[in-house]
Structure 1
């Protein structure tokens, strides 16, 4: 499977963080441009029986961070990745498992991001993440700016 070593390293990194380890997070798919994470609702349920908002925000933050990390891994760049700012919109309650998809925002380009990081030792890019409802409509959306700083 393509990317399997990088995905295994990413999953190990996620699991090395105590708050993330208890989330039951797994990598559902990665196609080189989009990272999908999964977590069971049972570990993220709130008092209303739907997904806890903080869990949704965390999963989208982790998916986006993971996508940037995978792109750096593919480019063989050792860098720290940080979320600089983000916005979350809660559009509808989610009564199913958390299925998160993260991708580069429209108008952004991985090649430019990598080139800037190599030249300046620092780069930023924008990502988007979504959690769909069972019918495909968005339950939650996330936009964020991530920064990478070469080590």
Structure 2
């Protein structure tokens, strides 16, 4: 039996595919448990001259995972908001010779209520999201911390 992804994940995947640079990544939305978004892409589309994953591809997937996570969480909270990456720091820990698997989660889950309150009151807010890329054996290949900004387009549903 095949289980279809929930509608929010389908919308996110469709949105990613609507952007030509993102579509070229061969990105796949693997799932989201409400706190962690998982994305993947085939290594064959991201190989560098060393035979491992290109650093720019890893940075892109981690940024997209953070953006996607915040977009999904805002939608779930009833917000119509634009999400932007404001700044990020990336550390490359080990070469990745496997398909790219990235996951993103809030740096501090306890910051979410304050973020929502600020967005509701001011129409804009920022929050930090951590992302990481793992090798097939679970070894950490790359990690990032990024600050994302959300700008409310319409009032939140109460």
The CA deviation string for residues 62-92 of structure 1, in whole angstroms up to 9 with x for no partner, is 0000000001110121111010000010111
Give the SS at the match of 1:94.
coil
Tell me how far 1:35 sits from its aligned partner: 0.1
Distance 1:127 1:32 in 2: 14
**Residues matched between the structures, number:** 151
Choose from 102, 126, 129 the match for 1:127. Answer: 129
TM-score by length of 2: 0.91
Any stretches of 5+ residues in structure 1 without a counterpart?
A: none
- Supply the distance in 1 between the matched residues of 2:19 and 2:130 (Cα, whole angstroms): 23
The 2-side partners of 1:114 and 1:15 are apart by 28
Unaligned 5+ segments in structure 2 are: 154-158
Q: Which residue of 2 aligns with 1:115?
A: 117
Cα deviation for residue 106 of structure 1 reads 2.9
TM-score when normalising by structure 1: 0.95
RMSD: 1.5
Which residue number corresponds to residue 41 of structure 1?
A: 43
